[in-house]
Amino acid sequence: MAYALVALGFVLALNAAGAVNFAHGDLVVLGGAAAVVIGLWTGLPGPLLLPFVALALGIAGIVAARVAILPLVARPPEATFVATIALAAMIEQGLTVTMDAAPRTAPPLLGTGAVEIAGITLGRQPIAIVVVGATLVVAMWFLLERTQVGRRMRAVSADRHMARAVGIPVARYVVLSLALAGALAGIAGFLLGHQFLVAPTQGAGHMLKAYIAVAIGGWGSVPGALLGALGIGLFETFVSAAVGDAWASAALYLAVLAVLVLRPQGLFGEPVGRRA
Amino acid sequence: MRALDKFWLAVLILLPVLALLVLPPFGQRMVILVGVYALMGVGYQLVFGQLGALNLAQGALFGVGAYTVALTAPTLGLLSLPVAILAAALPAAIVAGPILRLQSHYFALATLALASLIHLAAVHVESITGGANGLAGFTALLPRGPILLVIVWICLILTIVVQARLFAGPMGERARLLRQAPLVAATLGIDGGRWRLVAFVIGSALAGLAGGLSAAVSGVVSPEITGFPIMVLCLTSVVLGGARHPMGAVLGAAIAVCLPELLRDLQSAWLLAYAAATLLVVLWAPEGLATLIDRWRGVRPVPPVSPVVPAHLEAVDGPQRLTLDGVAKHFGGVAALQGVSFTLERGEVVGLIGANGSGKTTLLNVIGGLECADGGTIMLDERRINHLAPHAIARVGVGRSFQSLALTGDTRTADIAHAIETGASFLLLDEPAAGATDRERSDLASLIARLRAAGRGVLIIDHDIELLSRTCDRLICLDRGAVVAIGRPAEVRANPIVRASFLGVEEAAE
């Protein structure tokens, strides 16, 4: 479910920017780091920490949009790729310098330990991840499909020039999308940060999984990205349980290559059409 | 890309020579490293700089080269370097076929997946790679110190000189077309897939060579050498130095090697500074530092050469007749073309008219292979050409110009000139007179007359019915994808269906 949040933010940023945001994975890590730092400073419990982390990363998303995405809209997508890769390296190195290399743990959202529901024992944190994830996904769906703001965001991603022609302030909506993407990344980083520790070098891995989810689900499709992310989560869980982590990752990469070669439009079709 | 001038050639040769004469071993080692990273960068420039494809496997293939040398050097010595080249080029050649057709973001992902696989293998196939500990103690038969420096820099200088020489000429122009306007490139007969394949394999081979040399320098190989940070370093150094400048990779590599020494007190902060510098270059000097230095030296950038149509057009060999029979094309439920049949002879000029959305441009796209026809046949003499790729159709003799172009430095006629230059027997011109002045229109009319005299067949779309009536032998009127009238201009213009559907309102009002 946390992958779904990562992928959701990734696809929002992708649609708004018209190019891959390679810094997205590092925003996730930054979210985990923010949770660690704010948690240490304030000692706030998890649920109160959440809005602070979301806010901090929303701002980081705005900075990313202003620095590496908006100035490059008129250039080929490769320019944005390079700019966001540079940004990702800056975040990663910045974190390495400020935090020690030692991984940290983010505070839990609902306390640790397990609860028993209907005879099944479940960890508190996984439950929290699923609840928060599902809530945010529904909220994003409502925003995109049922509000004027969401309609305009979709208009900007479908056709930037047309959107500008009908009077939508495109730049503002790109920044807004990146802020939302950043906030989602931050929350995902916070949630993952308790289970899997926070280390500066994880960014590329998060980014790669979101990228894969979006490519498998259909480029630019929000439901496709969610399905892709859930698919990756299940795939990793079951395959690594069966054959171990390394083989699971290898199988995932091979599966991606196979999907790209055999069905380049994604498993569920590509809604935005060709983007050369 | 401009050719390598004397200034840069001197820098390129003096640097290793001075290093050999005056630098202590530690400094020589740094110069070797600059050469190694630059070699990887030069290979990267081929794919990323010239063709604009974001390849994210270069770093991992560098690692493949390093591991290959670590494994084979104890038995093969210096011969392990060619093996490293092969070891990196082979996986690239295997995956290249299918993944090079992918568009930018999918290509980036596919190469990233390949790189991740390689990294995974380096970490986990412990019996071969030594796992996380890596490999060491394999350099007994390898050259070290000054000899290694000479080998590295000779490889580098040769590669740079050859590459700069190649891309300073027509090849550079074709690469620019492929990068900026792949469709135009295809209609000029440039096989983009083949170009990318060759560039990707050669680029990977250079990565393998560089990786092998890096193993010789450091004497140890560990999984980090296949990791993403090496890839990021390669990409950022090429962008920083200049992705299409012959010296870009060298400059970027030099900064990447020297910066950590200058900022030694700040430890890993140098990478932060490096990434920030790259971001600044992307934003404000996208051509890179080498180009900035050129500007500072007073060297003007080369403007792209726009071809002009020669005053006298030679007759060309090739097919004599273009025949369409029952050509159909659907977009979803909409019939864009239905049952379109006509022939175009050499030395004949045919105008294509019809309201907006009647299928004129779609028809040119289908003939040129940019869209695939759903039904019917298109023949050049006895040869069927629908189902051929656009570049193959261009090569058998059908040229094409486009409605509007975003190519820097190109003018309206340059596009047509490109098409004529290919020696095409048949030319498809899409609204060449749109937005033209009266002067340009009369130039165009005389150009068409010359094309007819040179025995070329021309199919031309335009909204200027007077221009078409003056220049064309026949007119074809399309309405909702079907041919509603075909014949001499006066006949077609008098046809009541044509008057209703195209000339429409104004004449009906008379």
| Higher per-residue pLDDT: A248 or B88 | B88
pTM, to two decimals: 0.83
Tell which of B223, B241, B257 closes a domain.
B223
Q: Which is more confident, A262 or B391? A: B391
B358 within a domain of the structure (yes/no): yes
Contacts of B123 in chain A (CB under 8 A): 246
Looking at per-residue pLDDT, the higher value among B103 and A35 belongs to A35
CB contact under 8 A, A249 and B120: yes
* Residue B14 falls inside a structural domain: yes
B112–A211 CB contact, under 8 Å: yes
Give the least confident one: A72-81, A118-127, B147-156, B238-247.
Answer: A118-127
Q: Is B48 on the interface with A (CB under 8 A)?
A: yes
**Digit-coded pLDDT (tens) for A214-237:** 887 777 777 888 888 888 888 878
> Contacts of residue A71 in chain B, CB cutoff 8 Å?
283
The verdict on residue B236 lying in a domain is: no
Tell whether A96 is within 8 A of chain B (Cβ). Answer: yes
Contact A78 B54 (CB under 8 A): yes
ipTM of the complex in this document = 0.82
Residues 268-307 of B with CB under 8 A from A: 268-269, 271-272, 274-276, 278-279, 282-283, 286
Query: What is the per-residue pLDDT for B258?
Result: 85
Q: Does B104 touch chain A (CB under 8 A)?
A: yes
* Per-residue tokens: B361: 């441009």
Strands B220-221 and B474-479 turn out to be unpaired
> Above 90 in pLDDT, residue A112?
no
What integer is the mean pLDDT of B358-373? 88
Written as six digits, the tokens of B510 are 């008379």
Is the CB of A74 inside 8 Å of chain B's CB atoms? no
Tell me what the mean pLDDT of segment A9-15 comes to: 81
Averaged pLDDT score across all residues of chain A: 77
More confident of the two residues A161 and A114: A161
Residues B207 and B329 in one domain: no
Q: How far away is chain B from the Cα of A202, in angstroms, using its nearest Cα?
A: 11
Tell me what pLDDT residue B86 has: 94
Mean pLDDT (whole number) for A167-173: 76
Chain A residues close to B124, C-beta within 8 Å: 246
Alpha carbon distance B349, B351 (integer Å): 7
In a domain, B357, yes or no: yes
Indicate whether B36 pLDDT > 60: yes
Which range of B98-112, B292-306, B334-348 scores highest in mean pLDDT? It is: B334-348
The answer on B501 and B369 residing in a single domain is yes
B285 to chain A, minimum CA–CA distance in Å?
Answer: 12
pLDDT of residue B507: 47
Smallest Cα distance from B181 to chain A, Å: 10
Question: Which pLDDT band, with edges at 50, 70 and 90, does B211 fall under?
Answer: very high
**Residue of A86, A97, A254 lying closest to B269 (CB–CB):** A97
Specify the 3-state DSSP secondary structure of B461.
strand
The percentage of residues in chain A with a pLDDT greater than 70, rounded to a whole number, is 82
Lowest model confidence (mean pLDDT) among A153-162, A172-181, A184-193 = A153-162
- Interface residue of A26, A29, A75, A85 to substitute, partner B, most B CBs within 10 Å: A85
B65 pLDDT higher than 90: yes
Give the residue on B whose Cα is nearest the Cα of A84: B279
User: Quick check: B411 pLDDT over 70?
Assistant: no
Name the more confident of B25 and B207. B207
| A79 at B interface, C-beta within 8 A | yes
Confidence of residue A273 (pLDDT cuts 50, 70, 90): very low
A-chain residues near B121 (CB < 8 A): 250
Q: What is the pLDDT of residue A264?
A: 62
| pLDDT reading at B356 higher than 60 | yes
Q: Give mean pLDDT, residues A57-81.
A: 80
Let me know: does A149 contact A142? Beta carbons within 8 Å.
no
For residues A228-248, give the mean pLDDT. 81
- pLDDT of B409 > 80? The answer is no
What's residue A121's pLDDT? 61
Tell me which chain B residues have a C-beta less than 8 angstroms from the C-beta of A275.
103-105
Kindly indicate the confidence band of residue B212, based on its pLDDT and cuts at 50, 70 and 90. very high
The alpha-carbon gap from A1 to the nearest alpha carbon of chain B, in Å, equals 22
Please say whether the dihedral angle defined by the alpha carbons of residues B329, B330, B334 and B335, taken in this order, is positive or negative: positive
B479: containing domain: 321-508
The predicted structure's pLDDT at residue A151: 80
What is the CATH number for B362? 3.40.50.300
What mean pLDDT do residues A107-119 have?
A: 60
Whether A74 has a pLDDT exceeding 50, the answer reads yes
Instruction: From B368, B373, B370, B386, select the one nearest B336 (Cα to Cα).
Output: B373
Cα torsion B425, B431, B435, B440: sign = positive
Alpha-carbon dihedral of residues A46, A47, A53, A55, nearest 10 degrees? -160
Please give the interface size between A and B, counted as residue pairs whose CB atoms are below 8 Å apart.
Answer: 121
Instruction: Read off the pLDDT band of A111 (50, 70, 90).
Output: low
Please indicate if any CB of chain A lies within 8 Å of the CB of B127.
no
With respect to residue B246, please indicate whether it lies within any of the assigned structural domains: no
pLDDT at B510 over 60: no
Mean pLDDT of A253-272: 68
Mean pLDDT, range B255-283, rounded to an integer: 79
For chain A, say whether B239 makes contact (Cβ under 8 Å).
Answer: yes
**Residue B420 in domain:** yes
Check residues A133 and B111 and name the one with the higher pLDDT.
B111
Q: Which of B95, B117, B278 sits opposite A250 (nearest CB)?
A: B117
Given this model, what pLDDT does residue B90 score? 92
pLDDT level of residue B508 (50, 70, 90 thresholds): very low
Q: Is A236 on the interface with B (CB under 8 A)?
A: no
What is the reported pLDDT for B306? 64
Q: In A, which residues are within 8 Å of B116 by CB distance?
A: 208, 249, 253
If one counts the domains in chain B, the total is 2
Residue B21 located in a structural domain: yes
Q: What is the pLDDT of residue B390?
A: 87
String of DSSP letters for chain A: -HHHHHHHHHHHHHHHHSS--TTHHHHHHHHHHHHHHHHHHH---HHHHHHHHHHHHHHHHHHHIIIIIGGGTTS-HHHHHHHHHHHHHHHHHHHHHHS-SS-B-PPPSS-SSEEEETTEEEEHHHHHHHHHHHHHHHHHHHHHHHSHHHHHHHHHHH-HHHHHHTT--HHHHHHHHHHHHHHHHHHHHHHHHHHH-B-GGGHHHHHHHHHHHHHHH-TT-HHHHHHHHHHHHHHHHHHHHHH-HHHHHHHHHHHHHHHHHH-TT-TT--TT----
- Reported as a pLDDT band with limits 50, 70 and 90, residue B473 is very high
Of residues A172 and B116, more confidently modeled: B116
The reply to whether B379 falls in a domain is yes
Q: State which residue of chain A sits closest to B238, comparing Cα positions.
A: A82
Beta bridge partners of B379: B323, B384
Please answer yes or no on whether A89 and B274 come within 8 Å at the CB atom: yes
Minimum mean pLDDT among A191-195, B48-52, B216-220: which range?
A191-195
> What confidence category does residue B82 fall into, taking pLDDT thresholds of 50, 70 and 90?
very high
Tell me the pLDDT of chain B averaged across its residues: 85
Check CB contact under 8 Å for A260 and B283.
no
Q: Which of B101, B268, B274 sits opposite A97 (nearest CB)?
A: B268
- Which residues of chain B does A204 touch, with a Cβ-Cβ cutoff of 8 Å? 228
Last residue within a domain, chosen from B223, B244, B266: B223
**Domain-terminating residue out of B202, B223, B244:** B223
pLDDT band at B408 (very low <50, low <70, confident <90, very high): very low
Q: B327 and B178: one domain?
A: no
